[in-house]
Amino acid sequence: MTRSDYLPTESKSVWQRLFGGSPRSFVAALAETDTLTDADIDELAAYLEKLKKERK
């Protein structure tokens, strides 16, 4: 099995176990540890906006 085959499945499993599948809980955990910089937040916001546009 290649990394590209394995990663989506394992990522989903970790996401469910640690954050109950909640994106907000994941981001909140990052924010609470002061891991996110303003640049990181801007990058995430831009990426999420791009995803929204692609889904329309």
Compute the average pLDDT of residues 31-53. 93
Report how many domains make up the chain: 1
Alpha helix ranges (H) inside the chain: 3-19, 23-32, 38-55
Residue range(s) defining the domain that contains residue 8: 3-55
pLDDT score at 15: 86
Element (H, E) at 33: none
Taking the whole predicted model, whether its pTM rises above 0.75 is answered as no
Q: Is the pLDDT of residue 39 over 90?
A: yes
pLDDT score at 8: 87
